[in-house]
Amino acid sequence: MKKLIQEALQIRKHKSQREFYVTKSIIVIGGGIVGVCTALELQLSGNSVTLVDRKKPGRETSYGNAGVLAESSVMIINNPSLLKALPKYILNNKNDLRYDFFFVIRNFFKILRFLSYCTHKHLDHAGRALRSLLLISLIKHKDWIKTSKTTHLLKEDSGWLKLFRSKKTFKKYQLELELMKKNDVKFTIFEKEQIRQIEPGLSQRYEKAVLMDDAGRISDPAALTDGYVKVFLDAGGKVLEESVTALNEAHPGWEVNTNNSTLKGDHVVVAAGGWSSEIASWLGYKIPLFWERGYHLHLKPSDAPLLNRTILDVDGGFIMAPMKQGVRVTSGVELTWRDADPNYSQITESVKRARQVYKMGDQIEDTPWMGRRPTLIDSLPIISPAPRHQGLWFNFGHQHLGLSLAPGSAALISAFINKTQAPIDPSPYSAARFKI
């Protein structure tokens, strides 16, 4: 993979070698980390790329992640253990998942399709697919971080930590441990007395912990995105902060209308996260996509020892991550309509629970941030050509793993468009797996 990146950069440096590539005009819709990485990869491979988003790149869902560059996240939400756990969510009072009752009723059959993937067979398939994509993404991230001069944002090999308040909860985690073993994920199990040694600021409430050994951490995801955008611009790419209003075939190529301009390109990549299904619907595609809405709030550090890594409190249903802005407390999943009014009950409860196990100061923002994590019914992204339109490409549905999966997804799209060999098997991410 590193060789492929180096070759791409060499082509930019030596214009005489461009004869190996046909320069294409490409429009990437969506300025989150997936869209930015896609635009960057395509630009570095010798194309002319325009990135379009209504906001400054990296200021929607990508802004609010926990900053983990994970190669361990092979477990999907709709796994066999979810079926057993469903009764506990009936009262809608669990912190890791809240839902809008009317949304569930309105989307009942789509939710049934989501639950139909809760099989061991699909879990093994999804685990392998995610692992492959995570590994190539991490290689590219490390290379691009050096190129973008953002190494100060990366804490390598700090790992990230899953914490269990009871041994009973830890026993329910065995399925994920087995899946990680199958996919050669490195992890270390810690007992209660060992947890304080690696995270001395935490209370003694936790009975067990699992450290994902090879994960890195980004202290400011928005700044990382800014760094990648600068490399993209320096390589000749263009960024437009405009709202996309229409997408049409131009015969040849494509026409993208915004609130301020009309763009034409040979290819269009839809990488707009939670808005991708809406854009695809303009051309008749019915994408089975949900929105895992989530919230975060930054709190001031206290005199307690700083966290050394991102932690997930499994029982508490929240994440704490040391960030440049302070300690970022992130809530679990809110299942509702994409643009429904914010409901801050989860993040309020998450902050309350976080304070019980880690000493923090006052909150920094007045209002919690909210993002929309796009999730498909099988918990795998679509990274593929659109089934019925030549020159149209889909790259979305990365759920809560957008940061970790973005560069690898970009490499696949680039291989498709440039007609080069894909770095991994692309079939698990094909749009053709759905009848859309």
Quick check: 7 pLDDT over 80?
Answer: no
Q: Whole-angstrom Cα distance, residue 389 to residue 242?
A: 24
| pLDDT single digits (tens) 295-353 | 999 999 999 999 999 999 999 999 999 999 999 999 999 999 999 999 999 999 999 99
Of residues 176 and 4, the one with the higher pLDDT is: 176
Residue 311 has a pLDDT of 96
Residues in the chain: 436
Share of the chain above pLDDT 70, in %: 95
pLDDT for the residue 11 = 36
> Once rounded to an integer, what is the mean pLDDT over residues 393-402?
96
Which residue, among 375, 383, 380, has the nearest Cα to 107 in the 3D structure? 375
- Tell whether the model's pLDDT for residue 277 goes beyond 70: yes
What's the average model confidence in pLDDT over 225-235?
97
Say yes or no to pLDDT of 19 above 80: no
Whether 5 shows a pLDDT value over 90: the answer reads no
Give yes or no for a contact between 276 and 396, defined as CB atoms under 8 angstroms apart.
yes
Tell me how far apart the alpha carbons of residues 308 and 188 are, in angstroms, rounded to a whole number: 16
From residue 135, how far is each of 1, 115, 206 by CA, in Å? 10, 27, 30
Give 368-382 pLDDT, tens digit per residue.
999 999 999 999 999
pLDDT, tens digit (0-9, with 9 covering 90-100), for 119-156? 999 999 999 999 999 999 999 999 999 999 999 999 98
Partner residues linked to 254 by β-bridges: 249, 265
Phi, psi of 5 (to 5 degrees): -65, -45
Average pLDDT of every residue of the chain: 93
* pLDDT at residue 355 is higher than 80: yes
- Name the band, by pLDDT with cuts 50, 70 and 90, for residue 22: low
Cα–Cα separations (whole angstroms), residue 25 to 126, 255, 391: 33, 11, 11
Query: Would the pLDDT of 389 be above 80?
Result: yes
In the structure, what pLDDT confidence band is assigned to residue 100 with cuts at 50, 70 and 90?
very high
What is the pLDDT confidence band of residue 60, given thresholds at 50, 70 and 90? confident
**What's residue 15's pLDDT?**
34
The whole-number average pLDDT for the span 98-121 is: 96
Q: What angle do CA 274, 276, 279 make, to 5 degrees?
A: 135
Map out the domains of the chain with their CATH numbers: 2-87+93-433 (3.50.50.60)
- How far apart are alpha carbons 50 and 29 in whole angstroms? 9
Beta-strand relationship, 25-29 and 267-270: parallel
The residue written with tokens 């079939």 in the block is 427
Query: Percentage of residues in the chain with pLDDT exceeding 90?
Result: 90
How far is Cα 320 from Cα 336, in angstroms, rounded to an integer?
23
- Residue 292 predicted with pLDDT over 60: yes
Q: Mean pLDDT, to the nearest integer, of 186-190?
A: 96
What's the average model confidence in pLDDT over 41-56? 96
Nearest to 268 by CA among 250, 288, 287: 250
Q: Check residue 14 and give its pLDDT.
A: 36
Q: Is pLDDT above 80 for 2?
A: no
The CB density around residue 430, as the number of other CB atoms within 10 Å, is 15
